[in-house]
Amino acid sequence: MACSCGNAEENQEQYLAPLYDVLAGYECKEKDLIPVLQDAQEEYGYLPQDVLQEIAKGLGVPFSQVYGVVTFYSQFHLEPRGENIIRICMGTACHVRGGDKVLDKMKEELGVDDGETTEDLKFTLESVACIGACGLAPVIMVNDNTHGLLTPEKVPEVLDQYRD
């Protein structure tokens, strides 16, 4: 492959192939916009501009609307993300049980700030509103796994499970 930036025509086609598969599964009406964006993000890890433009074309909705929806919902991302997504719960129960201390320790361990991704693209750190596991506060989610009753001391142990 001479060029991998996605600009060469054949590369572009190859690059967008998974998106066409996603679109094929839908009626491609306006109501499918959010599910299509969710599937596309699952496929690419984030939502690059080329993908968004193609989605706008595929669903027949203005690009401005696609961009509007993507930036409205916190689930969608315009930048590349880490292999593992760490969500630190900042809900009420976690707040009163010291969730912010867990977040601080996580920042320190990963060397990134809230919302950032580590340089090796291993981890993305996010603080989120309640993830609904308040009985186990303070709690975090790494990908789809919930880790509860955390203390700052337990943070390295949790991270090690996701480091190869």
Partner 1 sequence: MEQSIYRSHILICGGTGCVSSGCKEVRSSLEDELARHDLEDEIKVLETGCHGFCEKGPLIIVYPESVFYCELKPENMEKLVEEHILKGKIVEEFLYQEPVTNESVRSYKDIDFYKKQERNALANCGHIDPEEIEEYIATGGYQAIGKALTEMTPQEVIDEVKDSGLRGRGGGGFPAGLKWQFASEAEGDKKYVICNADEGDPGAFMDRSLLEGDPHRIIEGMVIAAYAIGADEGYVYVRAEYPLAIKRLRIAIEEAEEYGLLGDNLFGTDFNFDLHIKEGAGAFVCGEETALMASIEGKRGMPRPRPPFPAQKGLWGKPSNINNVETYANVPDVIQDGAETYKQVGTEGSTGTKVFALTGKINNTGLAEVPMGITMREIIYDIGGGINDGKEFKAVQIGGPSGGCLPEDKLDLTIDYDSLLEVGAMMGSGGLVVMDEDTCMVDVSRFFLDFTQSESCGKCTPCRVGTKQMLDILERITTGEGQEGDIELLEELAENIKSTSLCGLGQTAPNPVLSTLRYFRDEYEAHIYEQNCPAGACEELLGAYVIDGEACVGCTACTDACPVDAISGEAKEEHQIDEDACIACGACVEKCPVDAITQ
Site residues (vs partner 1, CB under 8 A) = 29-35, 37-38, 61, 65, 68-69, 72-76, 90-93, 95-97, 101, 128-137, 139, 141, 144-149
Q: What are the structure tokens assigned to 110, written together? A: 């990963």
Q: Taking the complex as a whole, how short is the minimal distance between the CB of residue 162 and partner 1, in angstroms? A: 15
Identify which of residues 4 and 75 has a Cβ nearer to partner 1 in the complex. Answer: 75
Identify which of residues 6 and 148 has a Cβ nearer to partner 1 in the complex. Answer: 148
| 16, amino acid identity | L
Q: Taking the complex as a whole, how short is the minimal distance between the CB of residue 8 and partner 1, in angstroms? A: 32
* Angle, CA 39 vertex, CA 64 and CA 85 arms, to 5°: 100
Residues forming beta bridges with residue 89, ordered by sequence position: 128
Nearest C-alpha neighbor of 21 from the set 55, 69, 64:
55
Give the DSSP H/E element, type plus range, for residue 3: none
Q: Taking the complex as a whole, how short is the minimal distance between the CB of residue 12 and partner 1, in angstroms? A: 26
Q: Taking the complex as a whole, how short is the minimal distance between the CB of residue 121 and partner 1, in angstroms? A: 22
First and final C-alpha spacing in the chain: 29
Identify which of residues 35 and 156 has a Cβ nearer to partner 1 in the complex. Answer: 35
Identify which of residues 80 and 115 has a Cβ nearer to partner 1 in the complex. Answer: 115
Q: Taking the complex as a whole, how short is the minimal distance between the CB of residue 45 and partner 1, in angstroms? A: 16
* Angle, CA 80 vertex, CA 74 and CA 84 arms, to 5°: 80
For the chain, how long is the longest CA-to-CA vector?
55
Identify which of residues 11 and 146 has a Cβ nearer to partner 1 in the complex. Answer: 146
